[in-house]
Structure 1
């Protein structure tokens, strides 16, 4: 495996400065509102802006002394989001139910030490490559690269020290109708076995329409692969299992998996199977059905195909509603697929926020390119080359019914 060449602090700050101006304006969701920020602000808009807030405090230190910060974003409607610089992790997300009662709808742990000791990617940014790569190996331009194998013989979510376990630079911002934070990370050439120095920027922007808009961008100095996503575990009731949540995914097919949950390379129609969520149904309705794919994943842990090829069109990837609270989560993305994971491997051994996280106490909806795409030539490409800018977008929309 190629060894990582660490960057000096001066080099890191220099590169961050160079890319921030180039990438933030073009790729940040905040740039969509630049005209509004400079326009006259009406009285009601000023009052709304005044009720927005951003605060920052220390969250802890890693063993090497690196400080980790926590930023709290609060919009004018009372929605609050906590994000820490370690892993870009969303540790808390308060949203209202149909009666206006706020509750935390994401699974999380109680301290930095808990996240470092072991977390199943609760709330984290995932990179360089979300999901699995078979045997941790891929070829690009005639050269074979061996990545860390941290999921049996396979590579999962960026490796032993993926983006979920690295400290990001964080800078907060405010616009006329939103609050946000920009996270920047430099992944050096050879990091976890990946080629090229990758400069990544992620923007979390919480607006006053109760939308969390997440913009991703990245550049590289060598050909590489990339597949970024966000890995929050949701429970719209706040606690308990998620089996009665009503889920709709407008996907006609999945990429079925074999051993190790690696895609076989085929596409399987969902019609007539437990994977048909084109009409909303309870997550738990078919989760114990006698189907070989469910047995492999111990439930749902599959890639649902949304479009044949990626493009810049923001589409609905999933809609989830919770009948007792009336909360609704819509997930929109430009990605060609979404991984639906029903929390099958949670076993009660993790505790946070005053509860034990048992099996299926949270669900994940991770927009992405298909797993193992570097080894499946007919899947949409995840190659990024020098001179190109990787861009992606996920929107979480919170409403009630």
Structure 2
């Protein structure tokens, strides 16, 4: 196992974690952006299973948030405002009148401090950033540690730890686009997915939660059994239609199974299992990827990748009954998501 580092454009650092089985994970200190998760297929052929830009400069002003750490609040905050303890806070409006993924200067734009570590059975890096009071409009001085860790079981874990000196709002995630075909040779249509989830969140025309939590029963959102994405993408269901004929929805986890999500690609034999202590996930199927963004694999295409954004729900700032993003002063925020890879 080892850790290597190189300098890229703009004097950014790119770190690569490599285990003893041939898997590696690469990421930038800029935005904590994951540029590569390289895993073997059923024939031992190692390829990248996340989308990455050919030119790293494209990460600077990236509407797709490719591979980035997202915060302070992942997702859309309705009307770019919320109240805590009777005081209203106004955020940057960067998607219509709403605030998306922490605003234009969210955590995806920050240079994170890196502290590598290596143990007998794992390697990793601790990324740290201190977000000052009212950065992005959010209250509280917030100290954050995010750990990227790879072990010899081909498990890549992202752990999040944070503490604020004032009551605030926080839910962190990673915005990698997964495609298990390897190097995005094919779209995600012929990959299967399975969620441990009975409920999804209804959206309005602006992709803001309406406040309703719906059953997946007898809808395209029923992914409780292994489901071929080709059978769902392009559905004329009203909720799929407003998301540009795909998923861009939050699912609430049952947490009845160890794996909250299982993704498979039959042709390569790759399987990815996701374990997390997060209460929910935003499942986004790359509905708005455009060819004017040049990926390492070629021009981007609709449905080239899927995002599995484990998080709580920004809807909790305006509606009851949703997984809460509020963090009390002095309370420790501790979340993790593990992506485990194997081959059939």
Q: TM-score range by the shorter chain?
A: over 0.9
Q: Given the alignment of the two structures, is residue 268 of structure 1 paired with residue 217 of structure 2, yes or no?
A: no
1:332 is matched with 275
2:196 is matched with 250
Q: Given the alignment of the two structures, is residue 305 of structure 1 paired with residue 252 of structure 2, yes or no?
A: yes
Q: Secondary structure at the match of 1:319?
A: strand
Q: Secondary structure at the match of 1:266?
A: strand
Compare 283-292 and 169-178 and name the one that shifted more: 283-292
What's the offset of the Cα at 1:119?
A: 4.5
Contact 1:126 1:228 in 2 (8 A): yes
Structure 1: gaps (5+ residues): 1-51, 62-66
Mapped to 2, the partners of 1:307 and 1:324 lie a distance apart of 30
1:87 is matched with 31
| Cα separation, partners in 2 of 1:174 and 1:100, compared to 1, 3 Å | same
What's the offset of the Cα at 1:372?
A: 2.1
Q: Given the alignment of the two structures, is residue 278 of structure 1 paired with residue 236 of structure 2, yes or no?
A: no
What's the offset of the Cα at 1:314?
A: 8.7
1:21 is matched with none
1:231-287 CA distances to partner (integer Å, 9 max, x unpaired)? 110110122210110110121110111121111111111111111110111112022
How many residues are matched? 341
Mapped to 2, the partners of 1:211 and 1:374 lie a distance apart of 33
Query: Greater strand share, 1 or 2?
Result: 2
What's the offset of the Cα at 1:181?
A: 0.6
Mapped to 1, the partners of 2:48 and 2:323 lie a distance apart of 36
1:56-86 CA distances to partner (integer Å, 9 max, x unpaired)? 121222xxxxx42111110011101111100
Q: Given the alignment of the two structures, is residue 53 of structure 1 paired with residue 2 of structure 2, yes or no?
A: yes
Contact 1:303 1:371 in 2 (8 A): no
What's the offset of the Cα at 1:307?
A: 3.7
Q: Secondary structure at the match of 1:159?
A: coil
Mapped to 2, the partners of 1:156 and 1:108 lie a distance apart of 21
1:203-235 CA distances to partner (integer Å, 9 max, x unpaired)? 000000000011100011111000001111011
Mapped to 2, the partners of 1:102 and 1:129 lie a distance apart of 34
What's the offset of the Cα at 1:331?
A: 1.0
Mapped to 1, the partners of 2:258 and 2:83 lie a distance apart of 31
Contact 2:198 2:254 in 1 (8 A): no
Contact 2:202 2:239 in 1 (8 A): yes
Contact 1:350 1:356 in 2 (8 A): yes
Q: Given the alignment of the two structures, is residue 241 of structure 1 paired with residue 187 of structure 2, yes or no?
A: yes
Which of structure 1's runs of 4+ aligned residues deviate more than 6 A? none
TM-score by length of 1: 0.83
| Cα separation, partners in 2 of 1:147 and 1:328, compared to 1, 3 Å | same
Mapped to 2, the partners of 1:195 and 1:149 lie a distance apart of 17
Q: Show the 5 A alignment for 1:134-145.
A: 134-145=78-89
What's the offset of the Cα at 1:106?
A: 0.6
Q: Secondary structure at the match of 2:57?
A: helix
| Cα separation, partners in 2 of 1:153 and 1:235, compared to 1, 3 Å | same
2:22 is matched with 78
Question: Max radius of gyration: which structure?
Answer: 1
